[in-house]
Structure 1
């Protein structure tokens, strides 16, 4: 008897602490306030993770740009553009944009150039 009540209370606590569940108070037609459970949907795209990966990618491009210098970097990208479709896609992604140039300028102060 006590064990069953304890199990029920434990179950209720676990259900209340579920982070994917939100309880909302609603008023029914007869004026009764009722708890309605709404489950949170998981996000399909982890926005923070994608933003972090994009930032790391731009930092990597800036590092390589600062190490090689603009002329060498652009010549390597041009070589990639003349290749097959995977190389063209890589050239498109690795092409020097504004963020890459700004990152490279900031890194060139710190890094010795070859």
Structure 2
């Protein structure tokens, strides 16, 4: 004959282990009768961390703006044109490094701060 208290104890232990699993998310919901219950849901794995991607893009635009401010628009464009004439990897790099409005705005802001050109 099974011990009822032992079965309930094992159920509670399993529930605690399930809630403490970092791969699962515990959500508290209110039933119709007003009782608060905890429901365990699996966490979704994010494919791309949005904040990291935005940060990387911002740093890349800042880098392009710094280089544009340091070299000047004419020299920067001549170097991009040189890249466009190379093999496919250089053409792709030229596409990424081509100046855009955000890069030009960053360069204008940096020219005010940076000594030189």
Taking structure 1 as the reference length, what is the TM-score of the superposition? 0.76
Q: Does the residue aligned with 1:43 lie in a helix, a strand or coil?
A: coil
Taking the aligned partners of 1:77 and 1:113, their CA distance within structure 2 comes to 22
> Greater RCO between the two (CA within 8 Å, min separation 6)?
1
Taking the aligned partners of 2:20 and 2:78, their CA distance within structure 1 comes to 60
Q: Does the residue aligned with 2:77 lie in a helix, a strand or coil?
A: helix
Partner of 1:38: 41
> How many residue pairs are counted as aligned between the two chains?
104
RMSD: 2.9
Taking the aligned partners of 1:51 and 1:20, their CA distance within structure 2 comes to 27
Partner of 1:23: 27
- Give 5+ residue unaligned stretches, structure 1: none
Taking the aligned partners of 2:24 and 2:63, their CA distance within structure 1 comes to 36
Per mean C-alpha deviation after superposition, the further-off stretch among 77-86 and 19-28 is 19-28
Runs (4+) of structure 1 moved beyond 4 Å?
16-19
- Give 5+ residue unaligned stretches, structure 2: 1-8
Q: Does the residue aligned with 1:113 lie in a helix, a strand or coil?
A: coil
Taking the aligned partners of 1:57 and 1:81, their CA distance within structure 2 comes to 19
